[in-house]
Amino acid sequence: MSDASAPAALPIIIQLSKLDVQIATLAAQKKKLEGDLENRRQVIASHETKKASREKFLGDKKNLCAKEEKSVKAERDKINERRAALNTLNNYKLQQAAEREIDYTAKQIGQREDLLLGLMREIETLEKEVANMTGVINGLNDEFSALHKDSSETIKGLEEQLASLNKERAEHASQLAGQTVLIAYNRIRDRFPSNPVVEVANRDSCSGCFMKLGPQVIVQVSRQDVVKCPGCGRILRLAAE
């Protein structure tokens, strides 16, 4: 391939760089929207995990409460039966002793009933807490749905623009297919996605890193050679008129 028949590389590189900057900007917008959605998804998931653990705790308390309620009721029934049977004891002393024992047991049951009431109050508080958590999660889910709807449309639009820009880019890049200049440019673009090609400022320095350029470099740039800034490695071009 002779130099005369090959298309000039620099204008194509400049064109590619303009497209690449647009592609990078749109891709960053898309990534940000997707990241925001993902963050919100994680926030909701963490609320749901907390709620599930609270619900488990509540369930355990309810089971404990039901068991204790049953057991206290059985004890209470037993005591009532024993109290009813007191009259059948014909020995006064035995009767007295049995009555004292019954009173003592009844007192203990009373203490268990107090604890049970405390447990019931605790369950009530936990139920309110879980209900609040559900409210918060529902609110977050509503917000998420609305945002997801908006973002999905925006992301779809960005994807369409990106597809068309990438198609346009591929057409320009195909003109330099297999050439080292394209490989070199792609590397520079990966390092400097927002400005892989920079202008020469004041006809003597790189506007990317402000390094003073030698006269030889300026001559090469003026000749439309593909020249890298010796300071930062970006491709140099003359300032647009």
**Cβ pair 40, 140 in contact under 8 A:** yes
- Tell me the site size for Zn ion, rule CB under 5 A: 6
- CA distances in angstroms from 240 to 7, 69, 93, listed in the order given: 20, 87, 118
Q: How far is the CB of 212 from Zn ion (least distance, A)?
A: 10
Do β-strands 197-201 and 235-237 pair in parallel, antiparallel, or remain unpaired? Answer: parallel
User: From the list 17, 229, 235, 237, which residue makes contact with Zn ion (rule: CB under 5 A)?
Assistant: 229
Angle at 137 between CA 135 and CA 138, to 5 degrees: 65
Binding mask 147-186 for Zn ion (x = CB under 5 A): ----------------------------------------
- Residue 231 lies near Zn ion (rule: CB under 5 A): yes
Instruction: Classify 236 as helix, strand or coil.
Output: strand
User: From the list 19, 185, 208, 237, which residue makes contact with Zn ion (rule: CB under 5 A)?
Assistant: 208
- Residue 206 lies near Zn ion (rule: CB under 5 A): yes
Quick one: which segment of 17-25, 81-89, 151-159, 231-239 binds Zn ion (CB under 5 A)? 231-239
Quick one: which segment of 22-30, 123-131, 183-191, 201-209 binds Zn ion (CB under 5 A)? 201-209
Q: By C-beta, is 196 or 208 nearer to Zn ion?
A: 208
DSSP readout, 171-211?
A: HHHHTTTT-HHHHHHHHHHHH-TT-SEEEEETTTEETTT-P
- Residue 201 lies near Zn ion (rule: CB under 5 A): no
Nearest-angstrom CA–CA distance, 25 and 31: 10
Q: How far is the CB of 221 from Zn ion (least distance, A)?
A: 12
Helical ranges in 92-195 per DSSP H: 92-174, 180-191
Nearest-angstrom CA–CA distance, 231 and 103: 96
Q: How far is the CB of 199 from Zn ion (least distance, A)?
A: 11
Which residue matches tokens 């049995």? 98
- Residue 196 lies near Zn ion (rule: CB under 5 A): no
Q: By C-beta, is 120 or 232 nearer to Zn ion?
A: 232
- Give me the residues that bind Zn ion (CB under 5 A), please: 206, 208-209, 229, 231-232
